[in-house]
Chain A
Amino acid sequence: MGRWLARLHTLNPRWLYLATAILLIIPLVILIPMPRGSASRATRGLYDAVEAVPAGGIVMIDSSWDQGSRSENAAQLECVVRHLCQRRIRFVVTSLGTVFSPEFAQKTIEPIAAQAGYVYGRDWVNAGYVQSASGLAPVISALALDFHTIRQADVRGTPIGDLPLMKEVRTIRDVRLVYVVTYAPSPEWISFITGQFGTPVAFGCMSMMAPNYYTYIDSKQLCGMLIGNRGAAEYEALIRHPALGTRLSMAASFGNAAVILAAVVGNLGMWAARRAGRRGA
């Protein structure tokens, strides 16, 4: 038994790859019902912030995620847009610094907005790609002061001033909440929007960035945050519409279990190998 355990220490990694792939297919093929815990403080903060926006109010969404972070950011964008549509809150979408983001944002938002009866140009606008210049700081700062100068046309090339919704959005003061969903939202949003104008800002970020941003939740510089697919799943539970986030977080259970098992197996193998080595000596 000890010798068998010791062999676990030098397992060929390809067996691990195969085991991981099989483990992850199981929840996709077989729907396994699992309990859903209550929403975290960060998720509830964003939910309450959206609830505080009156119907007809305007929210700004910076959807700057692309293929690299689609796995978590897509669900985060979907659930919040769904909530905005439920509450009849209008929204403007921008994409700062990433060229592919407007396309992903458009494809994600369009079906949800259409289902809610939202009319493009009147209820929502995709203002398209905003090139960064010396990072995002000058762009965020200028966008807050004069939106129409920084984005002069929407994603389809329509002059921004021709869109009914954009006639009401000139500066950040016309917006009730800013929701930034991307791989690692830039803290410049906090400095130049919340810090300078007091407009609440919330993040939707990849799980690995959450530990870095928790400090802003603690200092109330961020009103809320969605952390990975778990955050999206919690938000979907709050708006009573389980969707992509819930499905993906169910599957994440198996992925995390794979990593924990791999670490346990590796340590077991190491201890068994050490004992066998000591016996041999």
Chain B
Amino acid sequence: MRRRAVWLITFGGGLFFLLEFLLPARTPEWLGGVGNPLTPFLPSATNFLIVVSAMAVLLGPLNLVRRYLGMIVRREQGRLEGAVFLVFLAVSIVAASCEGANIHRAFDTLYNALFYGVQTAFFASSMALLAFYLVSAAHRAFRINNLEAGLMMASAVVILLGQVPLGDWLTQGLPDAFQVRHAAQWILAVPNTGVQRAVEIGVCGGAFAAGFRQWLGIGATTR
């Protein structure tokens, strides 16, 4: 009964959008010249999905608050980090709510400090750490042991030099057609495009199969 209910909703949701695509935008005149009856409802249906999807916004935070409060009450290890999370959660909710509402300049300053100083700096810096690890990985792991690895390295070096002014500077004495940026563009436009398109075609086939399975609920299980 439960599985049937879930299946029905899954199938119905997919059926609306699939039919909207398959039905013609307008039937021929000899069939009445009728427009697609589902298209006018598409924005409203999407509106509904957006609102329902947005209502899940508290799901993750509730889970985290429950977990961290439990850690603090039970005096478990990591409770200090949990407390920091809860404090910054509360402060950022207040700052974001009051920001731009002309209540007091302090809220705008606080919001800027949290938005740009804390979260922007943290995530940008975390991504920046990858650059260091990349250099380390290039040193330790990028070994030219065979033709394939050599080809990959050569392609990477051409791309690396061809996309920065350093490559333009190194090859500026050569005729225009032989400059490294053209080689980089050629690699991207010819062999790379062929490979990527082949992968795209393969992925498309798999996506169709997966889409059918999901829509029809084949092989799905529910608790």
Contact = CB atoms under 8 A, between A and B. Distances in A.
Direct contact of A and B (CB under 8 A): yes
Nearest to B125: A67
Interface string A27-48: 0000000111110110000000
B134 A253 contact: no
Interface centre among A35, A71, A145, A255 (most CB of B within 10 A): A35
Interface in A202-219: 207, 210-212, 214-215, 217-218
Interface of A: 11, 13, 16-17, 20, 34-38, 40-41, 66-68, 70-71, 100, 103, 130-134, 138-139, 141-142, 145-146, 149-150, 156, 207, 210-212, 214-215, 217-218, 227-228, 230, 249-250, 252-260, 262-263, 265-267, 270
B153 A263 contact: yes
A266 B164 contact: no
B160 A256 contact: yes
Given A131-B54, A266-B143, A215 B179 contact: no
B120 interface: yes
Nearest to A228: B163
A262 B136 contact: yes
B47 interface: yes
Contacts, number: 159
22 contacts: A20-B131, A67-B123, A67-B124, A68-B123, A131-B53, A132-B50, A138-B17, A142-B47, A150-B43, A211-B188, A214-B193, A215-B197, A249-B165, A253-B166, A253-B167, A253-B169, A257-B166, A260-B161, A262-B139, A263-B142, A266-B142, A267-B143
B27 interface: no
A263 B200 contact: no
Interface in B17-33: 17
Interface string B175-196: 0000101000100110011001
A249 B45 CA distance: 44
Given A37-B181, A142-B42, A266 B50 contact: no
Nearest to B172: A35
A218 to B, nearest CB: 5
Contact of A37 (B120, B124, B136, B168): B168
Contacts of B142: 263, 266-267
Given A142-B43, A150-B47, 18 more contacts: A13-B139, A16-B132, A17-B135, A34-B165, A34-B168, A71-B124, A133-B46, A134-B49, A138-B17, A138-B46, A150-B46, A214-B193, A215-B193, A230-B163, A253-B166, A258-B135, A262-B136, A266-B142
A51 B140 CA distance: 47
Binding site of A, secondary structure by majority: helix, strand, loop or mixed?
A: helix
A243 to B, nearest CB: 15
B132 A17 contact: yes
B138 A34 contact: no
A211 B166 CA distance: 21
Query: Of residues B123, B140, B179, which shows the largest number of chain A Cβ atoms within 10 Å of its Cβ?
Result: B140
Contacts of A71: 124, 127
A141 B164 contact: no
A76 to B, nearest CB: 14
Given A67-B119, A259-B134, A266-B143, A145 B43 contact: yes
B166 A256 contact: yes
A20 B129 CA distance: 11
A131 B51 CA distance: 8
